Amino acid sequence: MPKKQQWMVSANYQVASEWVLDRDLDDAHHWYVKWDRLEVQWEEGGSFETIYPDYPASENFDWKRPEDVDVEDYD
């Protein structure tokens, strides 16, 4: 029996979290984002401040319209 043709449909979404800060990150010694948290070390040798997003992607995204949709053969 011949193998039935299949197709893969991929929907890609662009999500973003946003932070509103009262300080300029250019003034920070080091900063990074991981697990949807902004970690900022304002002074060398200082402790990191954890800043949660004002607008987290998980709460601000409706999944209604993907950024891109692709259809390809799936064998």
User: Please, is 19 exposed, middle or buried when counting C-beta atoms within 10 Å of its C-beta (0-12, 13-18, 19+)?
Assistant: middle
| pTM confidence score | 0.68
Q: Looking at the predicted structure, is the pLDDT value of residue 1 above 90?
A: no
Structure tokens at 38: 């902004």
Half-sphere exposure of 23 (CA within 13 A, CB side): 13
Residue-wise pLDDT tens digits, 3-53: 888 999 999 888 889 999 999 999 999 999 999 999 999 999 999 999 999
Any idea where the domains of the chain sit in the sequence?
18-62
DSSP state of 23: S
pLDDT at 67: 86
